[in-house]
Amino acid sequence: MTAGPGSPDGLWVIVPAYQEEARIGDTLTALARQHDRDFTLLVVDNGSTDRTAALARAFAAEAPFPVRVLVESEKGVGCAVDTGFRYALAHGATLLARTDADCVPRPTWTAAARIALTARPGLVCGRILARRDEHGPLGRAGFRALVLTAAVFGRLRPAHHRRHGYLAPYRMHAGNNMAITAELYEAVGGMPRRPSPTDRAFLNRVRRHTTAISRCRAMAVHNSTRRLTAFGVLGTARWYLDRGSGRHGANPR
């Protein structure tokens, strides 16, 4: 299902989604409010049993840009992302940006992604902030501390050092706020479909291939903090430090 004129330079925004009927509306509204709306939106529903896909299709009828909705039955965010990216590539995408269906991009997000990829083609890592509608100041401060801890851990982790064949230093990479050129995505073999979480594995694929990895503070997304409620502080820390979620499942809803 499509609507709108589309992007003149092949920018596609990919949004993987699973059981997100309570939050995807905020994500879609935020994308409709982007200052730069010359893109195609692709929502990849990962086999939801709720109204996630239906809400995306209803949004397409009024959206100010083309919207397509796919269903990926193979479970796992890596599967949904890779399927979505490869669909976009097959339909002419040259620039790819991703956020998640529980996130709220700032109005300058797509413009910042386009500018960053044009200035330095490669992989761009954006800034993740806590959503203001899920926790109070203490919860948001805790989320910032966890993100900072994960970034420091990633840089110090021995397995991430350049002596292991990496061309670029480690940078904090959140899959829910990234942009990449189609050429680079194909060159590194795409997003790993397994195991989850796959973001760090994807970043390391890119690090073995190129030094063209940058961080763009203007590319900001407000991220759901629901793992703090579902996992607790320690469980969330385990998740962001790539230690799994302990006894908890991977997808709190």
Q: Report domain extents, the chain.
A: 11-240
Identify the pLDDT of residue 251.
53
pLDDT single digits (tens) 177-233: 999 999 999 999 999 998 766 888 999 999 999 999 999 999 999 998 776 565 555
Given a cut of 90, is residue 115 above it in pLDDT? yes
11-240 has which CATH code?
3.90.550.10
3-state helix, strand, coil in the chain (%, to 5): 40, 20, 40
**CA 76 remoteness from chain centre:** 14
- From start to end of the chain, where are the E strands? 11-17, 40-45, 67-71, 95-99, 104-105, 123-130, 177-181, 213-223
138 or 33, which is more confident: 33
Average pLDDT of the chain, as a whole number: 86
- The pLDDT assigned to 236 comes to 53
pTM of the model: 0.85
| Spatial distance between the Cα atoms of 79 and 96, rounded to a whole number of angstroms | 16
Q: What is the pLDDT of residues 201-216, one digit of tens each?
A: 999 999 999 999 999 9
